[in-house]
Chains A and B, each alone.
Chain A
């Protein structure tokens, strides 16, 4: 660090700042936030990775949108990709091929966009796990948790709609499945499906609608909610790990300027760097190999993007129970495709209240983070839930698993069914026991040696 006595000469930047302050009275606010404290722990950077991936998605997506044509009408392909020349394909697929082969820089943008989508959802998920297992969602941050869950839903929606746009064989298959699940909702399913697609599947309007959802409504929702998320974050200030200095009444961290600014800039650059590396070197969604979507064709193994895997797995695992009560048919897609995901999202969304009411029985304001061991029951349930999602995610690849292990598909599915029910309980229980053990050990040590100051994580419960 260098500080010199020579006075800095006035730069143009200073003049601009003064000009702005003359009109907007910025000095006081700037001074307040200039040294805003950011707890220095890597786990707080995951949310920023999500933010930066979103920025990359917005920029690359805008580029793609200049070329993409949301139209299912057929055209004859006459581009440079030889195997498809002369074939009738949809204008949408044609525009995707044009982006991939003819537009200079188009393929790298498409691939970066797709990789960024995967990294985005991954970052959100990990960010959410950090918030969950440290109890950062507790009062007063319930609102940000709920906004987060909505963000997760929008991200799923953006991924699903984006994935359906190229109108290749795989995207059409995903859409077909989504539509079928929708159709299975009692009373309103068929109506919703027809309204959504503008007619019976596949309809002619579907791509136009997915497109406007994907490039306008969902991004607008994401940007709006992220803004709210961050405004609330600034208002409430960050949580922090308890320490001798960090208490419930302060925030100990690095200042916004210069430390956090530079750290975030570096992280931004790293995020773009990694996404560019992935997009440049690792082929993703080579739609020309899949070919255009034909309603009568499918290929195996048909695998969706990773974050859809658990929904797909649930459909694969569910037994073929299809029953009719009082003339009302409940298809075998309804419970696993609508009710269970709905239930999961509801429980996740309501977690801050479930946690306060039944687990910690604590409704006070908290700004200090917990360790997973501090609340064994929450940790157990969280781990169990994760294992459940993981095992239905694995079930989403039951065909791949079967062919790779040369076991029958039915056998694999049967094993996975049992595993999906039993293993989460088992592992959740183990996690619970371990957390309790660690906590009790610690309490015993502190009790035996009163000179040890324990991090102020509140009374044990």
Chain B
């Protein structure tokens, strides 16, 4: 069955002579040419005005505008040119299947076989190819070795922070803190004394309310807990404290950690609690660490549970 012709040829418009249409088309093109010329002129002016802007000290909005006008002018001028003056035209290109014709393919395969024979490795001496490949692969490996020079191994560094037994807990200004300085629901970003600003030792100190039951995993001082401030998900600083519900919230992907229950994950993508710092008071009444965090801080890594042996 013949398909119905979905694209019948256009019937010629009636009532117009060929000359009429030709003249109208000419006028349209002339108008378009004038507009395109205007666009290019505007672009020239805008481009040159950049010099003036630059010489008079530069001004960001004017620079942006002038560049915009210049490029938009060029673009618009060309667009008018191609759409109206050049007009529409259709070319038809033949397509062929991407696979080479069988004859072509066979011809190449034959040539390949023959030249492999010529190379002396068609049959018995394949081992030459194998050995050369082996040499190339070994050299490739040898060339990768210098990559090892780029940095030291991780050694123990992921298992250690600057916290140590006896290290005083100080705030971001380096001031040591006493237990009585901290009121319930207060949070302070703290560091070990001498390492303020340290990326891996940053911790968050929270004053707990006394009327809430706690379930903590480390020795602590009346109503004060210190957790690593580095999110165990992807390492953002856990910056927000919602005192009403006792949750630390990480702003990056919204993990929440319950400060009354040893910072266990309450919601969000983090995979484990924030490590808690064991703390005590020293003889002068200042908060001190009893040692480093027991687990590695920050995002997890493959061998974290095997321990670094520090």
Interface residues of A (CB under 8 A from B): 1-4, 6, 8, 21-28, 30-31, 34-35, 59, 63, 66, 103-106, 109, 255, 257-258, 262
Q: Secondary structure at chain B's binding surface: helix, strand, loop or mixed?
A: helix
Complex: A105 Cα to B145 Cα, angstroms: 9
A197 to B182, CA, bound (A): 55
Can you list 8 A-B contacts (CB < 8 A)? A1-B120, A2-B124, A6-B123, A25-B96, A26-B100, A35-B115, A106-B149, A257-B119
Interface: B150 (CB within 8 A): yes
Residues of B within 8 A of A105 (CB): 145-146, 149
User: Which of B101-109, B247-255, B268-276, B296-304 touches A?
Assistant: B101-109
Q: Provided the pairs A2-B123, A106-B149 are in contact, do residues A30 and B108 lie with their beta carbons within 8 angstroms?
A: yes
**B21 interfacial contact with A, CB 8 Å:** no
Partner of A3, one of B96, B99, B100, B122: B122
List the A side residues contacting B120 at CB < 8 Å.
Answer: 1-2
Top 6 A-B residue pairs of the complex, sorted by shortest distance between their CB atoms: A4-B123, A258-B119, A27-B100, A3-B117, A27-B108, A27-B104
Closest-CB distance, A262 to chain B (whole angstroms) = 7
Contacts of A26 in B (CB 8 A): 100
B38 interfacial by beta-carbon distance below 8 Å: no
- Contact partner, B116, options A8, A63, A66, A104, Cβ 8 Å: A8
In the complex formed, the residue of A with least CB distance to B103 is: A27
Given contact pairs A6-B123, A255-B115, enumerate 9 new A-B contacts (beta carbons under 8 Å). Answer: A2-B117, A2-B123, A2-B124, A3-B123, A24-B98, A26-B100, A27-B104, A104-B148, A258-B115
Please give, as numbers and ranges, the residues of chain B lying within 8 Å of A30 by CB-CB distance: 108
- Taking the closest CB of chain B, its distance from the CB of A31, in whole angstroms, is 4
A25 with B98, Cβ < 8 A, contacts A2-B124, A105-B146, A106-B149 known = yes
Q: From A3, which residue of chain B is reached at the shortest CB distance? A: B117
Contact A21:B111 (CB < 8 A) given known A2-B122, A8-B122: no
Bound CA–CA A21/B125 (angstroms): 27
Interface residues of B (CB under 8 A from A): 96, 98-101, 104-105, 107-108, 111-125, 143, 145-146, 148-150
Chain A residues lying within 8 Å of B117, measured Cβ to Cβ, are 1-4
* A33 vs chain B, min Cβ distance (A): 11
Cα of A23 to Cα of B99 in the assembled complex, Å: 6
What residues of B have a CB within 8 angstroms of the CB of A21 in the complex? 99-100, 105
Chain B residues near A262: list those with CB within 8 A: 119
Q: Quote the shortest CB–CB distance from B226 to chain A (angstroms).
A: 35
Complex-state Cα separation, A27 to B124, whole angstroms: 27
> Given A1-B120, A4-B124, A105-B145, are A31 and B108 also a contact pair (CB < 8 Å)?
yes
Q: When chains A and B are docked, how far (Å) is the Cα of A105 from the Cα of B146?
A: 7
Among A2, A23, A25, A31, contact of B125 (Cβ-Cβ < 8 Å): A2
Q: How far is the CA of A258 from the CA of B132 in the complex (A)?
A: 14
Question: Once the chains bind, are B123 and A28 in contact (CB under 8 Å)?
Answer: no
- Give the CA-CA distance A21 to B107 in the complex, in Å: 13
Q: Which of B111, B121, B149, B150 contacts A34 (CB 8 A)?
A: B111
Residues of B within 8 A of A25 (CB): 96, 98-100
Closest Cβ neighbor of A23 among chain B residues = B98
Question: Which of these, B107, B122, B149, contacts A104 with CB under 8 Å?
Answer: B149
Given the known interface contacts A2-B122, A3-B117, the answer about A28 and B146 at a Cβ–Cβ threshold of 8 Å is no
Q: Least Cβ distance of B123 to chain A in Å?
A: 3
